[in-house]
Structure 1
């Protein structure tokens, strides 16, 4: 099940500082970011082993999540929000605002075999 957390943020007249630490099991092994994705849908998968943390460091987007039992939509509209996505969480990111930068932290290196593209059946159907 995904978990939305507020990241520790320090505000001052010199700017804001937001900290990401101790949020993924086994630490962070891979970092990537998605940008120039306005009018696009990204993701569309889940994993066998990988946990991810998603943060919109600029702009906003929505994340649809289905964990096999529950469907949810999360608004990532602040760099203080971090969505922790477990391996079983089938997810898509969409409704990217202009100039959005979505930062993704992963606890594993990329492995093609770790991806599962098959959707869960719709709930209540």
Structure 2
């Protein structure tokens, strides 16, 4: 059991493959979507936000996400496209990318560099 919110999205599989559904699953409206790829062996992130909420899904491969909310620190493995990690504004996070990984990120707000907090918790 994790301290941080992880959603297990409905996934339907048969001999033709798998289909994972994201419908009314997030506690915020998505206004920005992007994906990170080609980052094999790299660490990304290293910040928290003032107000932006995010949802992270490893569409392919494995991504270890280090989370720290100032009270609890934990690493969560995103290793299935039906697993969605919610990142709250207070959550310091870094993402370590395994080979061939693709990370889908859905955000509650448009990009605004001024609301990033680059100082980690002590």
Is TM more than 0.5 here? yes
In the alignment, what sits opposite 1:82?
84
Cross-structure match for 2:104: 103
Match of 1:48 in 2: 50
How far does the alpha carbon of each residue in 1:86-115 deviate from its partner, in whole angstroms, 9 at most, with x for none? 000000001x22111010011111011111
2:35 to 20, 33, 36: 33
Give the alignment's TM-score, normalised by structure 1.
0.90
| Contact map agreement 1:24 1:51 (CA 8 A) in 2 | no
Shift of 1:22: 2.4
Aligned-partner Cα distance in 2 for 1:56–1:110: 21
Cα distance in 1 for partners of 2:114, 2:27 equals 20
Cα distance in 2, alignment partners of residues 38 and 107 from structure 1: 26
Answer yes or no: is the 8 Å Cα contact 1:24–1:52 preserved in 2: no
Q: What per-residue deviation string (whole Å, max 9, x for no partner) do you get for residues 52-78 of structure 1?
A: 000000001100000010001100011
Closer/same/farther in 2, CA of residues 26 and 81 from structure 1, 3 Å limit: closer
Cα offsets for 1:12-50 (capped at 9, x unmatched): 222211111323344110011111111211000000111
Report the TM-score, using the length of structure 2 for normalisation.
0.92
Q: Is the 8 A contact 1:2 1:86 kept in 2?
A: no
Aligned to 1:2: 4
Gaps of 5+ in 2: none
1:93 counterpart (67, 75, 95):
95
Q: Which runs of 4+ in 1 moved over 3 A?
A: 23-26
Unaligned ranges ≥5, structure 1: none
